[in-house]
Amino acid sequence: MDLETLSARLAELQAAGLEAIASATDPASLEAVQVAYLGRRGELKTLLGGIGGLPAEDRPRVGAIGNRVREALEAALQGRQAELDSAALEARLAHEAVDVTLPGRPFRRGSLHPLIETNREIARIFGQFGFVVYEGPEVETDVRNFQALNIPPDHPARDLWDTLYTDVPGHLLRTHTSPGQIHVMQQTAPPIRALLPGRCFRYEAVDASHGFEFFQVEGLMVDEGTTMADLRGLLDAFAHAMFGRARPTRFRPGYYPFTEPSVAFDVQCVVCDGAGCPSCKRTGWMTILGAGMVHPVVLRNGGLDPERYQGFAFGLGTDRIAILRYGINDIRMFLENDLRFLEQF
């Protein structure tokens, strides 16, 4: 081979090499190009192997051309490598990018059970008058559920509560939240403003308006000089907050062994506004709670001196209130866990 041919072949090799480098699209193919052109058995080495056949004075010139070709290819390889690296980085960043402008994935939100919701609303209203929520146990002693509340064993007043007894003598499922009054009085010094929401149990035949399991909220206020007028004012404020400002209310005489005097507290029927309908048994009124002035015997059983302290108490049915708030016609739905019902709240 003569000088001219060799120079031309080197120029061709450079052109072909540059093109191969430019069209390599990933690190592996770029490496293959490098090996093919610049490797130990690559094209450049092979071509330069022919240098020995040239006259001695031409050899350095070919060597210089060969070096320039090597340098050009090496520079191109480096450039291409950098391009491929940054393209790979771009691709990774694009792939991993978080688009913070996308709407979030909605997650399923539950809602409060209507009874819990109603209990909280009751607590919120009485809370504005300084009443604090306490909790009593669901399994009670006969003493606190009855005797301390002025209902002795075998007293006919027990017939007011159809009771579920436990296997443990002297223990039962509380029939009302009133035993909570005893807990609070024994543990708290007056002034007392307590609210005791909770589940109660009675041995009842279940129908649309009776369950063997239901909820009550007990209220208890004890202080010096507490009067029935305080009770009346508080209950009116509660009824108006719960059922609207204009809703008429009334006290009727009632009987409970643990209060004297005792009353039933009625609100005008929220279904017919007093005209008379099946919901209010055509009376125009609905009883939402029982109440009265705490009996001196009960105060004493709670460890308080009835000469010094007076108090009032009330017990309202959460289920009843919830029925009126939401227009529900069967209390059994509260405990059936039917999502079609529960999802409406």
Q: Which residues of this chain interact with ligand DAH, rule CB under 6 A?
A: 176, 178, 218, 256, 259, 290-292, 313-315
**Which CB atom, from 27 or from 191, has the smaller least distance to ligand DAH?**
191
Token digits of residue 219: 């209220």
Nearest Cα residue to 47 out of 12, 6, 8: 6
From CA 242, how far away is CA 171, in angstroms rounded? 35
From CA 78, how far away is CA 42, in angstroms rounded? 18
Least distance to ligand DAH, CB of residue 276, Å: 25
Token digits of residue 125: 């209203």
Least distance to ligand DAH, CB of residue 258, Å: 6
**Which CB atom, from 24 or from 313, has the smaller least distance to ligand DAH?**
313
Least distance to ligand DAH, CB of residue 293, Å: 8
- The Cβ-side half-sphere exposure at 252, using a 13 Å CA radius, reads 13
Question: In angstroms, how far apart are the furthest CA atoms of the chain?
Answer: 136
Least distance to ligand DAH, CB of residue 275, Å: 28
Query: Measured on CA atoms in the order 232, 238, 242, 245, is the torsion positive or negative?
Result: positive
The 3-state DSSP class for residue 316 equals strand
**CB neighbours (10 Å) of residue 321?**
23
Least distance to ligand DAH, CB of residue 109, Å: 35
**Which CB atom, from 176 or from 193, has the smaller least distance to ligand DAH?**
176
Contact 176, 313 (CB under 8 A): no
**Which CB atom, from 73 or from 313, has the smaller least distance to ligand DAH?**
313
**Which CB atom, from 14 or from 262, has the smaller least distance to ligand DAH?**
262
Least distance to ligand DAH, CB of residue 337, Å: 25
**Residue type (1 letter), 108:** R
Name the residue number minimizing CB distance to ligand DAH: 315
**Which CB atom, from 78 or from 227, has the smaller least distance to ligand DAH?**
227
Token digits of residue 25: 């699209």
